[in-house]
Amino acid sequence: DTAVSQTPKYLVTQMGNDKSIKCEQNLGHDTMYWYKQDSKKFLKIMFSYNNKELIINETVPNRFSPKSPDKAHLNLHINSLELGDSAVYFCASSRRTATDTQYFGPGTRLTVL
Amino acid sequence: AQSVTQPDIHITVSEGASLELRCNYSYGATPYLFWYVQSPGQGLQLLLKYFSGDTLVQGIKGFEAEFKRSQSSFNLRKPSVHWSDAAEYFCAVGDTNAGKSTFGDGTTLTVKP
């Protein structure tokens, strides 16, 4: 039973394309997150949703748009991909807030050529 | 704003040797503190966490951490390292007001045979 799953695991695309990453959690958690991990392994939060409501929106380009159709799903859509978007994107969830343990998905490695 | 510093970017220890990974935090109130481990190609997994109570916290895989308020530290220790402990280790502080966790930049652990 996978707690937090992401698809796809790998994504290779050309500059300027639009792509989406999907995330699902079966833990019954209220809060979900998107993180970006760069090549130096620095981990930065991008967005957080609580019960489908956006609660954290860090300084992220408008080309990134999260969508939460229900509290078990949080998808990330990226428009007009740029070279600098290449990274590993992690989805995570927690029971309520970030003071609870976060459960991470396996990551999606995005490569923009 | 809260912050987390992991002073050691990379640590190498011999298998069977003891390990200590350092973490210093900056937070106004009583912090929620976490240590996560990221094995190669995987997402982060919680090792242990602290909010209140006993300042020495036991975690999974034989790890422990000690909260020292006077030093604003939450160092991770293991008495005898195994080759499978080679991974990236992240310290994090949870902010109840901001509703998010801030992660340190990580420490890469290499284990020599």
Q: How far apart are CA A26 and CA A41, in angstroms?
A: 27
Give per-residue pLDDT as tens, A25-44.
Answer: 999 999 999 999 999 999 99
Tokens at A98, concatenated = 């970030």
Which residues of chain B carry a pLDDT beneath 50? none
User: Which chain A residues are within 8 Å of B46, Cβ to Cβ?
Assistant: 101-103
Per the listing, tokens 């997402």 go with B43
Indicate which of B39, B47, B100 best probes the interface with A, i.e. most A CBs within 10 Å of its own CB.
Answer: B100
Which residues of chain A carry a pLDDT beneath 50? none
Tokens at A2, concatenated = 């996978």
What per-residue confidence (pLDDT) applies to A87? 97
What per-residue confidence (pLDDT) applies to A1? 66
Q: Please classify residue B76 by burial: count the beta carbons closer than 10 Å to its beta carbon, then call 0-12 exposed, 13-18 middle and 19+ buried.
A: buried
CA distances from B40 to B43, B45, B88 (A): 8, 12, 8
User: Which chain A residues are within 8 Å of B51, Cβ to Cβ?
Assistant: 99
What per-residue confidence (pLDDT) applies to B1? 72
Tokens at B30, concatenated = 């009583």
Give me the residues of B, 66-85, that contact A with CB < 8 A.
none
Indicate which of B2, B25, B33, B44 best probes the interface with A, i.e. most A CBs within 10 Å of its own CB.
Answer: B44
Tokens at B46, concatenated = 């919680």
